[in-house]
């Protein structure tokens, strides 16, 4: 396992991030403590140090397990958790969720207690609630950083305009800025390429994508009725629609040709994008995680990348298709676009 800087910071994190949403059984698809510990140990033994959880995962059990597994070696890990979703400690309180400062402070205190630690390396805002003023969020984050309870802050599942506004405000006011962005991104879901990923590269945000193997759809397990193993994707999911099934079939075809597992193809297509991409890998068993972590020893060829790009391509819409059209390129660059060697687009 190699390490990367977490965005515009000096924090060194493993090139894969362990997702722990499966730690606990309250949601019906997770794992018990013993099996969760095997997954955790497999990740750590491979050199992983970047652990991702959230206050709500399995109603707080994920945080409890992670805290127990880190005991005695807390400083060895980069621990990331999230606030915003309903705080399981007090779920019926109207202010026990959302981006507001009361939710933030109470959630952090409860997370620290559940994980038996006195600080969080990276605190994510889990989702944008469309209600809380951005300055309230960033001022609250900055206070937590100044208190030492949080070292870095990140943002998850939010529009690009929110992230860019927040980071610009933080820079102007001397507050702690976001160093990382968490989004859904995969061959099946490339919408983030329109605004979120270019914005992340502009602000030097590390991207920690979730859903990189499409919930298992890109492993090929949903292409045949012969696979009787446990499956998380429900019938009717967009991950199994006609377009995404064609993409999964293309991944299976390339896998058969190259011998590279479908999960590795999907993970490395994300890892080899422009910028800092650190995929979240989660698993129900240590065996499954160990197989997926082998992706760090593989580099996809340009031919494979091009084939995956082509089969999964999306329409970018306005203004991107307009700006990339021949007419605009001709009049915006005096007909010399092809002679410019350092395009930023």
Mean of per-residue pLDDT scores for the chain? 95
Which pLDDT belongs to residue 190?
98
pLDDT-based confidence at residue 85 (cuts at 50, 70, 90): very high
Which pLDDT belongs to residue 227?
58
What are the residue ranges of helices labelled H in the chain? 33-45, 61-70, 101-115, 134-147, 160-173, 196-203, 242-258, 262-271, 286-293, 302-311, 320-323, 326-332
Closest CA to 298 of 267, 321, 319, 276: 267
Percent of the chain clearing pLDDT 70 (strictly above): 97
Higher pLDDT residue, 15 or 221?
15
Instruction: Decide if pLDDT at 295 tops 70.
Output: yes
For 61-84, write each residue's pLDDT tens digit: 999 999 999 999 999 999 999 999
Instruction: Decide if pLDDT at 39 tops 90.
Output: yes
Neighbours of 29 (CB within 10 A): 14
Give the distance, in angstroms, between the CA of residue 229 and the centroid of all CA atoms in the same chain: 25
pLDDT-based confidence at residue 226 (cuts at 50, 70, 90): low
Interatomic CA distance for residues 343 and 324, integer angstroms = 12
> pTM of whole model > 0.85?
yes
DSSP per residue, 167-235: HHHHHHHT---EEEEE-B-SSS--GGGTTHHHHHHHHTPEE--B-TTGGGGGGTTTS-TT--S---SPT
What's the whole-number mean pLDDT along residues 284-295? 97
Which pLDDT belongs to residue 233?
75
9-15, Cβ contacts within 8 angstroms, sequence gap of 24 or more? 9/152, 9/179, 11/78, 11/121, 11/122, 11/151, 11/152, 11/179, 13/49, 13/50, 13/78, 13/206, 13/278, 14/47, 14/48, 14/49, 14/50, 14/278, 15/271, 15/278, 15/296
For residue 205 the two structure tokens come to 């945000």
For residue 279 the two structure tokens come to 């995929």
Which stretch of 70-84, 140-154, 221-235, 286-300 has the lowest confidence by average pLDDT?
A: 221-235
Q: Residue 221: exposed, middle, or buried by beta-carbon count in 10 A (0-12, 13-18, 19+)?
A: buried
For residue 156 the two structure tokens come to 């998850």
Q: Do the beta carbons of residue 152 and residue 170 sit within 8 Å? A: no
- Whole-angstrom CA distances from 230 to 111, 145, 247 are 30, 41, 21
What's the whole-number mean pLDDT along residues 337-341? 89
Containing H/E element for 48?
A: none
Walk me through the domains of the chain, giving residue ranges and CATH numbers: 3-313 (3.20.20.100), 315-345 (no CATH)
- Whole-angstrom CA distances from 62 to 17, 22, 28, 274, 340 are 15, 7, 13, 32, 50
Neighbours of 156 (CB within 10 A): 22
pLDDT-based confidence at residue 304 (cuts at 50, 70, 90): very high
Give the distance, in angstroms, between the CA of residue 260 and the centroid of all CA atoms in the same chain: 23
**DSSP class of 57:** G
For 228-269, write each residue's pLDDT tens digit: 555 667 777 888 889 999 999 999 999 999 999 999 999 999
Which pLDDT belongs to residue 231?
62
What's the whole-number mean pLDDT along residues 184-201? 97
Which pLDDT belongs to residue 237?
85
Which amino acids are annotated catalytic?
57
Which stretch of 114-123, 144-153, 235-244, 304-313 has the lowest confidence by average pLDDT?
A: 235-244
Q: Which residues pair with 169 in a beta bridge?
A: none
Which pLDDT belongs to residue 266?
98
Tokens 């446990």: give the residue.
Answer: 230
pLDDT-based confidence at residue 224 (cuts at 50, 70, 90): confident
What's the whole-number mean pLDDT along residues 146-152? 98
Residue 149's SS3 state is: coil
Instruction: Decide if pLDDT at 293 tops 80.
Output: yes
Interatomic CA distance for residues 135 and 139, integer angstroms = 6
């Amino acid at each position: 396992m190699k390490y990367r800087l977490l965005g515009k910071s000096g924090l060194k994190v493993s090139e894969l991030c362990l997702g722990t949403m499966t730690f606990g059984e309250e949601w019906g698809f997770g794992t018990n403590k013993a099996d969760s510990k095997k997954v955790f140990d497999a990740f750590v033994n491979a050199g992983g140090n970047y652990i991702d959880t959230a206050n709500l995962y399995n109603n707080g059990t994920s945080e409890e397990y992670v805290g127990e597994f880190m005991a005695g070696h807390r400083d060895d890990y980069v621990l990331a958790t999230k606030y915003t979703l309903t705080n399981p400690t007090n779920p019926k309180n109207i202010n026990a969720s959302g981006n507001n400062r009361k939710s933030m402070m109470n959630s952090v205190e409860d997370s620290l207690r559940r994980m038996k630690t006195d600080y969080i390396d990276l605190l994510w805002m889990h989702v944008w609630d469309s209600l809380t003023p951005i300055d309230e969020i960033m001022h609250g984050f900055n206070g937590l950083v100044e208190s030492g309870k949080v070292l870095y802050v990140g943002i998850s599942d939010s529009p690009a305009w929110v992230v860019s506004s927040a980071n610009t405000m933080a820079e102007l006011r001397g507050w702690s800025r976001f160093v990382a962005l968490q989004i859904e991104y995969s061959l099946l879901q490339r919408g983030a390429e329109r605004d979120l990923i270019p914005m992340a590269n502009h602000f030097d945000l590390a991207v920690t994508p979730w859903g990189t193997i499409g919930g298992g759809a890109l492993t090929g397990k949903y292409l045949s009725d012969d696979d009787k193993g446990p499956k998380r994707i429900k019938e009717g999911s967009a991950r199994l629609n006609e377009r995404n099934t064609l993409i999964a079939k293309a991944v299976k075809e390339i896998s058969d040709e190259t011998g590279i597992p479908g999960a590795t193809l999907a993970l490395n297509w994300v890892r080899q994008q422009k910028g800092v991409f650190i995929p979240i890998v989660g698993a129900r068993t240590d065996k499954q995680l160990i197989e997926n972590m082998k992706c760090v020893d593989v580099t996809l060829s340009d031919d494979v990348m091009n084939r995956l790009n082509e089969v999964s391509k999306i329409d970018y819409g306005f203004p991107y298709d307009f700006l990339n059209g021949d007419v605009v390129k001709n009049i915006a660059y005096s007909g010399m676009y092809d002679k410019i060697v350092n395009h930023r687009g």
